[in-house]
Structure 1
């Protein structure tokens, strides 16, 4: 997501949702004239849709096929141009996860090195980290365990599982695929507290992102947050991020972190790139009857400048001033709904906010 430079105006909770969940297939605006084309796994009519492609990407993939013809190498892409079936898919020979991953790795690295799409995959944006892409973005997330997903062989090359390929993290927006992350709120209750909006005795650990990060440098974040790299289970990603970003030991996370749901939203950047995202959400409440020291986050890997323990009303104030990375504000809104601070009685747009936090990206329409 692109940083919003205006931090001076206060905004409502619904405004914060609008910043992050800002795209619909029928949206009007600066890119309304673009026709988005489904990217499918194969040429079969019932092939699953992996992502949505903008015209500029389709043109570039057509150029890739032309380059392959000139080099006397197999073309990697098939195009179905008729209006009723317009889509792009892999060529028939690109038929295993490793082949798909290799095709996209070579392509994206070459685009990066030639200066294409620098605002997305330029050298400062490149992450050198792979994300998994799935047949069904709402299906089983065991990227390298085909047997557990219904495949017969247990081989990661099996076509029976949900996992279909790896893609460089920064390039996911070019192909409009769903990406996944983990976000955890570390909090403590100073007393019984109030369930009025503002939080009474609730305190939340809030990090400031390093100004050197590729995205959203200097903004506020969730206590622990990060993407889910390919091949790593969801909770193990949280364990890893907790130590790397916040110096929280593995036994603390395994013993006290609780899975409490997910938030999902469809974001379109200021440059028109598509970023549908799912964030798996965890709470870690610091018990009152233990030494709080092991629960207190501290910077470790340089991605966080500092952590502050803030009263929830101060957190809300900073959210309203748009000081938080937008998807982190959504996770905190979800936290306040679940803990009874945002209610139908104190928030007039409660139902719209509550439902917008759990969108499905209109995925059932991607292939139509």
Structure 2
């Protein structure tokens, strides 16, 4: 049987796959029927699936730091510091009890969860964020060589290390990384450019440009590591960096920290082929489709699902943001 290639809309749907309360109200209501909202004051900051809710309601396992009303969970604590300590205690218990497989990927990286107006609500371990359906943030950069009269546009594409816990061996954006506590998107991309691609900080500062963001609500696959079905809304800040051909002195990304096996220089048609073949990490597909839209490669004239693709790549999430 011939392989089934994914359309651009299918690529978007694989990463933005939790029902939207505005455009899919019935599907959203059905999905939320057995989920709980993680609330801070009157604001929803995350969604909790039934298996996590069951664990939270076990006081011996999870502690006394949680309050429950129908469909709602609240993390107790009068200050950010106390709430951070309380959720940390719960996660430490879960990790020691091996309650959730996703916590085997513990990173010792802290992510900030926000209250309205960009105020921190609490800070938590990165690997645990999908258990609570809270927003995670990252920065992604596409490094490319512009088209000329004799050569098509080319993109630098890394292949993730075969030994990575998440999406091993898949294709990625040139540089990408999660934003831990206190980080900003610009410094994150500069740091990751050095660690993942051996690109000098001074060069990145001089040539990289902020170009917007993508946002979506992902339901994790098993390839993400840990349990399938965990919830992961994300906002990814996007950067472009124009470089010259290597033969003309342009930088060549090289693996540095063990997270990447190799960097490949692909023209746009090769990238499209690998996208359709499902070779890219799901959220990197979203970043590349946004890149194609911004550079006039994907347009309303050549893509019948253009409007839906664009809207879903910039989903308005219900939760407070940074």
Fold similarity call, TM over 0.5: yes
Residue 328 of structure 1, CA deviation: 0.3
Structure 1: stretches of 5+ with no match in the other structure: 1-6, 69-74, 141-161, 194-199
Q: 2:6 aligns with which of 3, 11, 19?
A: 11
2:98 equivalent to 1:115:
yes
> 1:239 pairs with 190, 201, 204, which one?
190
How many residue pairs get aligned? The number is 308
For residue 200 of structure 2, what is the aligned residue in structure 1? 249
Instruction: Assess, with a 3 A threshold, how the Cα gap between structure 1 residues 132 and 290 changes in structure 2: closer, same or farther.
Output: farther
**1:109 and 1:313 mapped to 2: Cα distance?**
47
2:62 corresponds to 1:58: no
Q: Which residue of 1 aligns with 2:224?
A: none
Change in 2 beyond 3 A, CA 1:171/1:344: same
Is it true that 1:212 corresponds to 2:212 in the alignment?
no
TM-score (norm 2): 0.89
Aligned positions of 1:1-368 closer than 5 A: 8-24=3-19, 25=21, 26=25, 32=31, 34-42=33-41, 47-64=42-59, 68=63, 75-81=64-70, 86-91=71-76, 94-118=77-101, 120-121=102-103, 123=104, 125-136=105-116, 139-140=117-118, 162-192=119-149, 201-270=152-221, 271-287=228-244, 292-293=249-250, 295-363=251-319
* Equivalent pair of 2:62/2:90 in contact (CA under 8 Å): no
Shift of 1:78: 1.4
Q: State the SS of the aligned residue for 1:296.
A: coil
Largest Rg, 1 or 2 = 1
How far off is 1:269 after superposition? 2.4
Calculate the TM-score normalised by the size of structure 1.
0.78
Offset of residue 296 of structure 1: 1.8
Shift in Å, 1:184: 0.2
Give the whole-Å Cα distance in 2 for the aligned partners of 1:301 and 1:66.
36
Q: Contact conserved, 2:156 with 2:266, CA < 8 A, in 1?
A: yes
Query: What is the alpha-carbon distance in structure 2 between the residues aligned to residue 11 and residue 245 of structure 1?
Result: 28
Counterpart secondary structure, 2:57: helix
Cα drift, residue 9 of structure 1: 2.4
- 1:117–1:289 distance in 2 versus 1, CA, 3 Å: closer
* Alpha-carbon shift at residue 35 of structure 1 (Å): 2.0
Partner of 1:147: none
Secondary structure of residue in 2 paired with 1:17: helix
> CA 1:201–1:19 in 2, change beyond 3 Å: closer, same or farther?
same
Instruction: Give the match for residue 146 of structure 1.
Output: none
